[in-house]
Structure formats: C-alpha cells, structure tokens
A and B are shown apart, each in its own frame.
Chain A
Amino acid sequence: MSLLAPGVLWLGLFFLVPLLLMLGASVMHRGVYGGVEAGLTLEHYRRFLDPLYLQVLWRTIWWAALATLICLLLGLPLAWVIARSRYKNLLLFLVVLPFWTSFLVRTFAIIFLLRDTGLVNSLLLRLGLVSEPLTLLYTPFAVLLGLVYGFLPFMVLPIFASLEKLDPALLEAAEMLGARPSAQFFRVTLPLARPGVIAGCLLVFVPALGSFITSDLLGGAKQVMIGNLVQNQFTSARNWPFGSAASFVLVGVVLAAVVLSLRLRDRDQAEGSR
C-alpha cells in the first residue's frame, strides 16, 4: 500500500485538485477582469450549445476519429510487418525516433513541407505536375496529416505488442483447416490483435481530441479545434468559466470513448464462446 502513496499523492495534488477546481469554475460566474466570481450557474454550458461551438466540437470529434482511422489503417500493417521482421528492434526504434524531438519542432517541419514554397510544392512544380503551388497548409488536410504523423506511434506500439505474442503456429493451424490468407487475417490475426487495436485507437483518439498545437499551426485560424477554444478562453479571452466548461465537454467525450473501448473489450471476452 505504501508503494501507492507517492503516485496517489502526485495525481491527487496535480490532477484531481486542478480538475475539481475547473469543475467548480465551470459552474460559477465570470469575473469582470477575468477569474471567477461566486454564484452557481449553468450559463457556460448553455453557451456551448451555440451552433458555433457545437460545430467546433463536431469538427474536433470528426478529425480525431478520422485521424484514428487513418492511424489504424497505416499502423496495423506496419505493426504486422515489424512483428514478423528480423529487424524488429531497428524498426521499432525508427517508429519511436520522432519522439526524440519536440512535438512543436516536428509540427514546424510539416509547415516547411507543405507551405507554398515548401518541399512538396517545389517538387510538384519542378516535375511539372502543377502549374502553381497547391494550397496545402492551413487546410483540414494539413491538420489531419499533423495528427496522424504525431500519433501514429501510439497506434503501432500496442498493436505490435499484441501481434508479437501471436504464435505463428496458429496461422499454420488455420491454413491446415482451410483458411485462406484473408480468413487467417480476419479470423485469427485480427481478433487476437484486438486488445492492441482498441488500446491503440484510444491512445490516438484521446490526445487527438485535445490537441491544439497541430490545428493552430497547420490549420490556421479557420480550422479551430476544441483545444484551441479552451486555450483561447484561458488566455486572450480571459473567460475561465467558459474555458472550464468547454474542457468538461471534452472530458465527457473522452469518458465516452473510454467506456466504449471497455465495452468492446468485454464483448471480446464473451464473443468466442458463442
């Protein structure tokens, strides 16, 4: 039990207490010069129902979901190849290599790639594929690219972990029993990789929901995500109660995602016996 104490203390002090403070702030009045004033109200949550903010919320969920899906489509085959490769350690090293630099620096690197005079456009111009630069930066495409690039390792690593444990004899057994490669994948590999897939989706979806650097730098002012909204309320707008309320809407979405993933995992446990 005493081993738990430092962790509990740390989380209590730096996670739970601030969270409760924000929950409190989200139902109190806004101070005239920023900050919070006494009195309970739900006006900040009500304000969030404005189509303007709902649109931000939907966009956030949609982009996070799309980024998760793309990460899954890229990460699953990648994890499969790595798990079967002789150069497993090298490939894993390459997957986590981007973590050696700051997220901010990597996002700036994408700007250099995508801007009108960037590498992609100059290459396309040089090859004569386009006559004038494509608008790549400050588009939803750029934001998605940034999200996928930033979170792909979180998808690859848990899937790799579950695929690595998969006994190759299971696939041979499936083949002896008449399973073509596609059936081997969908009936054996994928179900056994499912805990990794679910974990990977959660690990990508949740931070993607809360990201604001990517949308800020790659999306421009038009492509606001809920993270930008929260950041803005706490900084320039100095509306802490509304920022807190927006944060808790986000917490609600995250909780829903976690509950869904737990449900999926439990269903896994039950499914095989049908």
Chain B
Amino acid sequence: MPIAQFLRVSKTFHAVRAVQDVSFDIRRGEFFSLLGPSGCGKTTTLRLLAGLEAPDPGGQIFISGERAEAKRPYQRRLGMVFQNYALFPHLSVERNVAFGLERHRVPAAEIPGRVARALELVRLYPAEFARRRPAELSGGQRQRVALARALVLEPDMLLLDEPLGAIDLKLRKTMQLELRQLNKSLGITFVYVTHDQDEALTMSDRIAVMDRGCVVQIGTPAEIYERPRTAFVATFIGESNLIKTDGGTVVAVRPEWADLSPRGTVSPGRNALDGMVDEVIYTGEMIRVMIALDRPTVRPSDSPHRFTVALRNSGQLTRPLSWSPGDLVSVSWRPEDARLLEDG
C-alpha cells in the first residue's frame, strides 16, 4: 500500500487553480521529489499533504490508506521542514526540538534523552548547541535543528519544502547526501519540494515533475531525464534540442547524445542536420559547441536555428577539439537517442 495517495486533487485560491487534478502515489520509504519552477503548485501540493491546506471538494488524499481530510496536521504522523526553517526564535535549540514532544505529552523524563538523540542524528552536538538560540546559528545549523525538530517525533513521512534553498552550494551538496542517508537509514519516507533539477536527480528515488498546477511526469531520475514525455520536461530537466521531424512531430535530443562530423560525412544509420559552428564554449567537464542550422527546424521559437552539442572534454591543452567557428558541419544522433514528445 502506498504511504500517501493523491486522487484527482485540486486546490483553488481566489479563482486561481494552484493545483489541478493531480493524482499520484508515494511509496513507503522512498525519497520522492516534487520538482518544478516557482508557481507550479509543488509547495501547495506539499501543504495539502501536510494538512495546512484543504483540497477542493472532489479530490481525495489518503495517508496510510486512510482519508486524510478529517485529520488535523498533527494527526497525520508527519514531520515538516519549512522553507525558512520556522524555528521558534524565543526558544533555545533543545526547547525547539522538545516542543513537539511536550505537545504530545511525552513524559518529561524521556524528553532530554530524545532531544539529545535527535540532535546527534543531525550531527549537532548537544553539549555545544543545545542552549543556543536560533539567531546564534549558521544557516546550515538552523537547517539541522529544523530537521531534528521534525524527526524527534518519529514521523512516518518527512516533508521538506525547499530546505536547501538558502544554503551555499558546497554545504548544499553535503546536506543533499546527508538527507539521502537519513532517508535510507531511518526508513522514513521523504517528500521533497525543489525547483533545482540537479538536486532532484541526485537525491530522489522518484520525481514528480510539476508545471502550471499539473503533474506532467512521474518516474525515476533516469526515466525523467532519458525519457521526457513533454517539451517542458525535456527542457526543464537538463537541456534538450527540440527538432521538428518531417512528420510534424517533435523529438528531443540531449546535447551530450549528439555528435559532430565534417559536413557530409555522417555514419550510416544516424539522423543528421547540416549547419555551421557558431561558437565553442569551454565549461570544464564538457565542451559545448553551438551550431547554427541551415534550416529552421528547431524549437524554441526564439532561436529556431540553434542546436547545442556537448562533447566530453578530453583535455584541450593535450588533445584540442578540431572545431572552430565557421566550420561547416553535420550534427547527428542515433535514432533511439531521440525522444518523441507527446505535446509536439
């Protein structure tokens, strides 16, 4: 049985449909991400699951097989980490973490031990941090307190609303790994809201991609990245060249799955388009070659001639690329690497 289930759930705010007819399952123990640009409805979806918003009539939300609508947020066995942590500024770290235990009438004698264990779980050493106020912590430490505060109640599901948004890149990478490890070691289902596609691909077991209130695709990171169903998914997660075929359909080709050859020397069995090298960009791991195609066959409409090929950088100082602007080339790809889009 899925731990949570959305059945045709919508949410309207003042005639604006923030979430539109959304259905999906969350499996017990998985790391499930809601991914999409700002305003796509991902946070509202999370808040519906938390019980902080009520769905429009008609939609149903199940948690562990039971209707969730009748349950108050604290009856759903959920922990939540808010976007800006929402730590209580007037309480010390230990009192923040103890807050939920006190509200749930956990015997006073048990509280210090459980608080200390929760803090250790998120690698905040109680001796050092327990008595500090949130204002005396760094962003990363506040993040950990918010996690400990949610985890101390041993929830079935942990909801996280863009928790790493305010943290610098390096720490973010560390936290991504730690969150993933917590998910696996505790066996708690994580539901993670993010607009950062890298983050979603790195951490998730499954991703639900949202756009304008709808879930447009659900799958593993590999399924989402390698088999995008729509132009939105193909361009929001990673990068894609969108090509209109002779039949009028649109296919997506990832820059790293296309190749370059001197014009007219395409290997048999590959699809190809002719163009001219416009720009060569060094990005470290990859070399990006921008091609100006001869015929305008490509979306998006603002640069219909543009095609990007990403080539692995094998060392520009030792084995430099032979391409330079002005070269006449053919771009080609294996037909099976082109993904037919449903909304072409």
Task: Say yes or no: A176-B74 contact (C-beta < 8 A), given A183-B103, A187-B99, A272-B133.
Answer: yes
Choose one: B83, B99, B132; the contact of A177 (CB below 8 Å): B99
> What separation, in Å, do the CA atoms of A55 and B125 have in the docked complex?
58
> What separation, in Å, do the CA atoms of A273 and B86 have in the docked complex?
18
Task: Say yes or no: A192-B90 contact (C-beta < 8 A), given A176-B80, A177-B74, A177-B100.
Answer: yes
B217: interface (CB < 8 Å): no
> What separation, in Å, do the CA atoms of A188 and B90 have in the docked complex?
8
Instruction: Count A-B pairs with CB separation below 8 Å.
Output: 68
Q: Pick the interface stretch among A13-21, A69-77, A123-131, A164-172.
A: A164-172
> What separation, in Å, do the CA atoms of A268 and B95 have in the docked complex?
14
Contacts of B132 in A (CB 8 A): 273
Residue contact A178 to B90, C-beta cutoff 8 Å: no
Min CB gap B144→A, angstroms: 15
CB-nearest residue of chain B to A271: B90
Q: Mark B117-131, 1 if CB is under 8 A from A, else 0.
A: 000000000000001
Chain A binding surface, main DSSP class = helix
CB-nearest residue of chain A to B134: A272
Min CB gap A178→B, angstroms: 4
Residue contact A167 to B86, C-beta cutoff 8 Å: yes
Contacts of A192 in B (CB 8 A): 89-90
> What separation, in Å, do the CA atoms of A59 and B264 have in the docked complex?
104
CB-nearest residue of chain B to A168: B86
Interface residues of A in 173-188 (CB under 8 A from B): 173-179, 183, 187-188
Choose one: B79, B103, B149; the contact of A179 (CB below 8 Å): B103
Residue contact A178 to B80, C-beta cutoff 8 Å: no
CB-nearest residue of chain B to A165: B89
Interface size class of A (residues with CB under 8 A): 20 to 34
Task: Say yes or no: A174-B99 contact (C-beta < 8 A), given A167-B84, A272-B133.
Answer: yes
Which residue, of A174, A178, A268, A274, has the highest number of chain B Cβ atoms within 10 A? A178
> What separation, in Å, do the CA atoms of A135 and B31 have in the docked complex?
72
Min CB gap B293→A, angstroms: 49
A contact residues vs B (CB 8 Å cutoff): 167, 169-170, 172-179, 183, 187-188, 191-192, 268, 271-274
B contact residues vs A (CB 8 Å cutoff): 50, 52, 72-74, 78-80, 82-84, 86-92, 95, 99-100, 103-104, 131-133, 149-150, 153
- Residue pairs across A and B with Cβ atoms less than 8 A apart, 16 shown, are A169-B83, A169-B84, A170-B86, A172-B73, A172-B86, A173-B86, A173-B87, A176-B50, A177-B149, A178-B100, A179-B74, A188-B88, A192-B90, A271-B90, A273-B95, A273-B132
